[in-house]
Amino acid sequence: MKIRSITFKVPEPELKIIKSVTVYISEKHSEIIIAPISKEPKGSYNYEQENCEVIDLNSASEVIGEAIKRNFNKFDIKEKKGGMGKKSDWPALKASKEKSGRSFEEKYRRISIRGITDRNSSLRIETVMNLTSEIELTTTISAHCEPSELGNRILKIFRSEITERK
Which has more confidence, 97 or 122?
A: 122
| Whether residue 84 has pLDDT greater than 70 | no
* 54 in Cβ contact with 31 (< 8 Å): yes
Q: List the chain domain ranges.
A: 20-159
The yes or no reply on domain 20-159 and CATH 3.40.1590.10 is: yes
How far apart (Å, rounded) are the C-alpha atoms in residues 137 and 74? 25
| Whether residue 53 has pLDDT greater than 90 | yes
Mean pLDDT of the chain: 88
pLDDT in tens, 31-48: 999 999 999 888 778 999
How far apart (Å, rounded) are the C-alpha atoms in residues 76 and 40? 9
Specify the pLDDT at position 69: 98
Which has more confidence, 165 or 87?
A: 87
| Whether residue 165 has pLDDT greater than 90 | no
How far apart (Å, rounded) are the C-alpha atoms in residues 133 and 140? 22
Is residue 120 classed exposed, middle or buried when 0-12, 13-18 and 19+ CB atoms within 10 A define those classes?
Answer: middle
How far apart (Å, rounded) are the C-alpha atoms in residues 144 and 115? 12
Specify the pLDDT at position 83: 63
| Whether residue 134 has pLDDT greater than 90 | no
Specify the pLDDT at position 97: 86
| Whether residue 88 has pLDDT greater than 70 | yes
Global pTM? Answer: 0.86
| Whether residue 131 has pLDDT greater than 80 | no
Where b means 16+ CB within 10 Å and e means fewer, 79-99 reads ebeeeeeeeeebbbbebbebe
Specify the pLDDT at position 41: 85
pLDDT in tens, 9-35: 766 656 678 999 999 999 999 999 999
Phi, psi of 26 (to 5 degrees): -125, 120
